[in-house]
A and B are shown apart, each in its own frame.
Chain A
Amino acid sequence: MIKSDILIIGAGPVGLFAVFEAGLMKMKCHLIDILPKPGGQCSEIYPKKPIYDIPAYPEILADGLIDKLMEQCSQFQPGFTLGERAMTIDKQENNSFVVTTDKGTKHLAPIVVIAGGLGSFEPRKPLINNIEKYEGSGLEYFIKDPNKFKNKKVVIAGGGDSALDWAVVLCDIASEVTLVHRRNEFRGALDSVEKVQHLKNLNKINIITPAEVVGLNGNNNLESIIVENSDKSKTQIKTDFFIPLFGLSPKLGPIANWGLEIEKNAIKVNNSLDYQTNIPGIFAIGDVNTYPGKLKLILCGFHEAALMCQSAFKILNPNKKFLLKYTTVSGVKGFDGSHKKAEKAVVKTIS
């Protein structure tokens, strides 16, 4: 059982900033995210896009913002459960919550904060009739352990960075790598495209374009795929694995069944106070919540994180009085007296 004061579901920008705000008040956080790395949408969808409305940053790349937030919150040593989806929540007799992931990891905390953005990122599945039959028996949407494909035949479909990058990685591991894409052009970083071109020139990778995987065959396990070419002719290709990489799309997912009040696919919260949901002890901040006048902006999520922490502190410390301390006065560890001191200004008379 992983224990923390505040369990944050979603390691995007708002979840990460909540760790910092909580840290100032000596509350320890743990984060769960379905993605294998922190950053949420900023890392997954638009890492290299500039953001212009983060206060004091006239321009910052999305992945740069995540790096900064990680640096800022890491001093409070948050824990991470990455690559797992929060599935269920159970209220304990002492009003704490146990959140269990799809892999069975259990997390205990008196406060749960949902900072889930638009939801957990699920793979976009190609529209192939019997696709579900082969999930787990030859069809993979994620590559967790590349060694699974050692000396196997692999077909990857897709034209973006992840398809290109994994094609490159698996070239050295799998016995045969085929990349199928609907058009001749790939949508990836120049570096990745060039690497794949190089491997193609060395005959280490088969590229079939413009084409689409339209069928899957095999008794129990996947044995072959059907590729439809642009002239509608079909080719059968023997393979052990098929990996469609068509990006991820966010779904609210299991959180929708946690008994929280949902409106317009978002969690209703009390915005006049602390962004608490209809279940005391569960908060929702950032894009995942809704209230009159809600703005889905990262900076609004930061504000919500700060207010949430005030209430979380009162729940955790019902008998303590809390007075807001400014980081300019007390540094980042001001709560217990220890602090990073600012350099003293020189006091000198100007004559």
Chain B
Amino acid sequence: MTDINIIIIDRLGKKHNVLAPLDMSMNIMELIKSYELADDASIGICGGMAMCASCQCYIESTHKLNHKSDEEEAMLSEAFNLKSSSRLSCQIPITKDLKDLIIRIAPEY
């Protein structure tokens, strides 16, 4: 299995091309953390349980993603700086379909 490229725009607007492994059952929040693209204490606070909205991101490419679970919908409904493209990055598993996905990390809140 090979890695795929994912484009992550950090909170300062800087673009990062990162290699995302397909064989580590990682999600996008973990990818952001592993490349240290956001302050460690400001993202993934609940550890990836869709119980905080600290890993909110905006999807800026046209990739078809997995559907939002009820938990994710509910948590997003309490998030700030919400857009129609908002997702909790911890709820997006990395799959080969996400090649060249572009995401922007939402402002810290």
Contact = CB atoms under 8 A, between A and B. Distances in A.
Contact of A124 (B36, B51, B77, B80): B80
A159 B39 contact: no
B109 interface: yes
Contacts, number: 63
Contacts of B46: 41, 45-46
Contact of B39 (A124, A185, A249, A264): A264
Contacts of A119: 41
Contacts of B78: 158-160, 182, 187, 246-247
A183 B71 CA distance: 13
Interface string B56-93: 00000000000000110111011011000000000000
B54 A249 contact: yes
Interface in A246-282: 246-247, 249-250, 252, 264-266
A187 B77 contact: yes
A187 B41 contact: no
Contact of B74 (A45, A49, A159, A264): A159
Interface in A228-255: 246-247, 249-250, 252
B42 interface: yes
Interface residues of A, number: 26
Interface of A: 41, 45-46, 49, 118-119, 124, 126-127, 158-160, 181-183, 185-187, 246-247, 249-250, 252, 264-266
Given A45-B45, A119-B41, A264-B40, 15 more contacts: A45-B51, A46-B47, A46-B51, A49-B51, A126-B80, A183-B74, A185-B77, A187-B74, A187-B78, A249-B54, A264-B39, A264-B41, A265-B42, A266-B40, A266-B41
Interface of B: 36, 39-42, 45-47, 49, 51-52, 54, 70-71, 73-75, 77-78, 80-81, 109
9 contacts: A46-B46, A119-B41, A124-B80, A127-B81, A183-B74, A185-B70, A185-B77, A187-B77, A246-B78
